[in-house]
Structure 1
Amino acid sequence: MTAYFGEMVALATAFCWTITSISFEWAGKKVGSLPLNLIRLVLAFLFISIFSYFRLGLFFASDAPPETWGWLALSGIIGLFIGDLLLFQAFVLIGARVSMLIMALTPPIAAFFGWLILNEQMTPSQLIGMTVTIMGIAMVILAKEKNQKTVQIRYPVKGILMAFGGAVGQGLGLVVSKLGMKDYDPFLATQIRIIAGAAAYIALFFVFSKWKPVFTALHNKKAMIGISTGSFFGPFLGVSFSLLAVQHTTTGIVSTIMSIVPVLIIIPSIIVFKEKVSLKEVAGAVIAFGGVVMFFVF
């Protein structure tokens, strides 16, 4: 085991999140965010189950104690249901690039909940880092129109609020998952989170009778390619790698490395979606990432 195993896994996670964000934005614009969320969790469950069977001889997390199940299930509902429900709708409204930039707030939010729930300390440098991150995000989403003194929001407010809600869900979900996982296998821990998240979506679909869009999405071959790709690199590899990384290094370091996604996603967004990205937006993404670095390094 190398000295920087956790850091390397965290970097691999960042690349996974970049691929899955592009894939899910592309598929979500074709079939909507609700059916996408359920289908990707079902696919991720199958990926993890098959992988765990060949690796550990366990198709299902049957060896996890009740306390582990409880905390990880709660984490799955918070992160994979509520958080991702908001985030994936933000993908449709404002795109993966801007959504993932706002998601750079996840590490400071996780640290806040760590302080609130786990009694972890927040230093002045962390507060400064949080401020810098917010400034970087503001550079991208705010703009001063020509011949006007007022500052305008460049993207739909609803999408921005949903992306922020996704960041809150991810940050709180990460803290709760760390409470429950401890030394348990990160892939089977992810399976428990996925089961809880999928169960919440199924209940939602039954209550609001939303099954027709799911069946429609299953027959959309192009969308299913995007969903399958995103499911493999997201809830299967990405979530599992993030938990594996947390087991081998600090949450702060993992969160910092993973926060490079808003920078990594710029070029794919230009290539895949033909987005016009200004130097100001690139600078904002870099500054936001720098703020996260300040939050945990200094």
Structure 2
Amino acid sequence: MGVFAALGTALCWAIAARLFSGTGNAFSPLTMNFWKGLISIAILAVVLVFVQPTGLTTHTILWLLLSGLIGIGIGDTCFFKALQSIGDSQAVLVAETLAPLFTALFAMAFIGEWITWQQWIGVAVVLLSVDMVIKARKRSTTHVFATSGYLYGVGAALCQAVGAVVSRDILSSGEVDAASAAFLRLIGGMFFVVPFIAFTKTKYMPTIAHGKRIWPAFFMATLLGTTAAIYLQMFAFAYAKAAVVQTLIATSALMSLGVAWAFGEKATKATVAWSAIALIGVAILVSFGAPTTN
């Protein structure tokens, strides 16, 4: 269940990315982070009224808040900075390649969770395929080399890994429900985003051209890419190893090909071939990803 929840997370992100692109430049990265977090918190708060939270103690609440502050608040901010400095393809390449590797290392070091040699092969196949697809889809325009941009990308990967390992450590016991974990992580992320917006004097409201309606698309993108995605991610961490989950989530770059195809865009032979190879890696992770015990 954890493996398929992780793939569901990747699919939600791939669809949401297309919807978010429809909002144009109305939202700055920080403003987008703020509003998608606020909307998702409100939705999950309503869900938790009907679903009784379970397994929450002061200890788990504090750790989940910290996980959100690092993984969502600081991590997403670093990723947005990388996007601005080195462009989307390079930022995704750095963050999505390193995050699963950092997660595997942190999981082994801090919570004693090891993955099998078969799973390592699956991870390698998936990450290689994702990298090759990203490189094949790289835009013809070049970005000025900026060391800080790559450092932000590495920082984003480190923050994702820390957030993933903390979440896995809390959720693997099976006592904390996914909705509560998602809600607390989002609140933790806001603990960083809101002060950072105030510090940088960023406008909270988006800049909307007269007559243009962006909120419906933004709400749908948030519902899929943040609310549903983080719930599925927390569910995945409850049933699958942290490194496996992070690797499968990285396949969102591949699933975006399918989304693009649905909108009438054509894929190159190279991207199709590497996507097929990635499926082999996913099959390996599915086959050897059932055990969740350390």
Q: TM-score range by the shorter chain?
A: 0.7 to 0.9
- Assess if the C-alpha contact under 8 Å between 1:33 and 1:88 holds in 2: yes
Q: Report the counterpart of residue 273 of structure 2 in structure 1.
A: 283
Question: 1:9 is paired with a residue of what secondary structure?
Answer: helix
Tell which deviates more after alignment, 179-188 or 163-172: 163-172
Whether 1:176 aligns to 2:166 is yes
- Assess if the C-alpha contact under 8 Å between 2:130 and 2:251 holds in 1: no
- Hey, what's the Cα distance between the residues in 1 that align with 2:126 and 2:7? 20
Whether 1:189 aligns to 2:185 is no
Tell which deviates more after alignment, 118-127 or 71-80: 118-127
Q: Report the counterpart of residue 36 of structure 1 in structure 2.
A: 32
Question: 1:76 is paired with a residue of what secondary structure?
Answer: helix
Q: Report the counterpart of residue 23 of structure 1 in structure 2.
A: 19
Q: Counterpart of 1:121 in structure 2: which amino acid? A: W
Number of matched residues? 279
Q: Compared with structure 1, are the counterparts of its residues 165 and 275 closer, same or farther at alpha carbon in structure 2 (3 Å cutoff)?
A: farther
Aligned counterpart in structure 2 of residue 227 of structure 1, from 218, 222, 241? 218
- Hey, what's the Cα distance between the residues in 1 that align with 2:154 and 2:275? 16
- Assess if the C-alpha contact under 8 Å between 2:130 and 2:254 holds in 1: no
- Assess if the C-alpha contact under 8 Å between 2:89 and 2:134 holds in 1: no
Deviation at 1:208, TM superposition (A): 1.6
- Assess if the C-alpha contact under 8 Å between 1:13 and 1:258 holds in 2: yes
- Deviation per CA, 1:41-70, whole angstroms, max 9, x where unpaired? 0001000001111233x7xx9x83221122
Aligned counterpart in structure 2 of residue 50 of structure 1, from 46, 52, 55? 46
Identity %: 25
Q: Report the counterpart of residue 79 of structure 2 in structure 1.
A: 87
The structure with more helix, counted as a fraction of residues? 1
Aligned counterpart in structure 2 of residue 261 of structure 1, from 248, 252, 257? 252
Whether 1:203 aligns to 2:195 is yes
Whether 1:247 aligns to 2:238 is yes
Q: How does 1:90-105 map to 2 (within 5 A)?
A: 94-95=87-88, 99=92, 103=96, 105=98
Q: Output the TM-score relative to the length of structure 2.
A: 0.75
- Hey, what's the Cα distance between the residues in 1 that align with 2:82 and 2:260? 15
Aligned counterpart in structure 2 of residue 14 of structure 1, from 10, 15, 35? 10
Question: 1:21 is paired with a residue of what secondary structure?
Answer: helix
Q: Counterpart of 1:45 in structure 2: which amino acid? A: I
- Hey, what's the Cα distance between the residues in 1 that align with 2:104 and 2:286? 9
Q: How does 1:111-190 map to 2 (within 5 A)?
A: 111-121=104-114, 123-125=116-118, 127-142=120-135, 156=143, 165-181=155-171, 182=173, 183-190=175-182
- Deviation per CA, 1:239-286, whole angstroms, max 9, x where unpaired? 1122123324444554455444222211323565x8664222333444
Tell which deviates more after alignment, 99-108 or 81-90: 99-108
Gaps of 5+ in 2: 289-294
Q: Compared with structure 1, are the counterparts of its residues 136 and 26 closer, same or farther at alpha carbon in structure 2 (3 Å cutoff)?
A: same
Q: Counterpart of 2:38 in structure 1: which amino acid? A: V
Deviation at 1:25, TM superposition (A): 3.7
Q: Compared with structure 1, are the counterparts of its residues 249 and 121 closer, same or farther at alpha carbon in structure 2 (3 Å cutoff)?
A: closer
Cα RMSD over matched residues?
Answer: 3.8
Question: 1:30 is paired with a residue of what secondary structure?
Answer: coil
Q: Counterpart of 1:35 in structure 2: which amino acid? A: T
- Hey, what's the Cα distance between the residues in 1 that align with 2:132 and 2:141? 10
Q: Counterpart of 1:41 in structure 2: which amino acid? A: G
- Assess if the C-alpha contact under 8 Å between 2:13 and 2:224 holds in 1: yes
- Hey, what's the Cα distance between the residues in 1 that align with 2:81 and 2:109? 28
Q: Compared with structure 1, are the counterparts of its residues 140 and 81 closer, same or farther at alpha carbon in structure 2 (3 Å cutoff)?
A: same
Q: Counterpart of 2:197 in structure 1: which amino acid? A: F
- Hey, what's the Cα distance between the residues in 1 that align with 2:133 and 2:141? 8
Q: Counterpart of 1:178 in structure 2: which amino acid? A: R
- Hey, what's the Cα distance between the residues in 2 that align with 1:177 and 1:194? 12
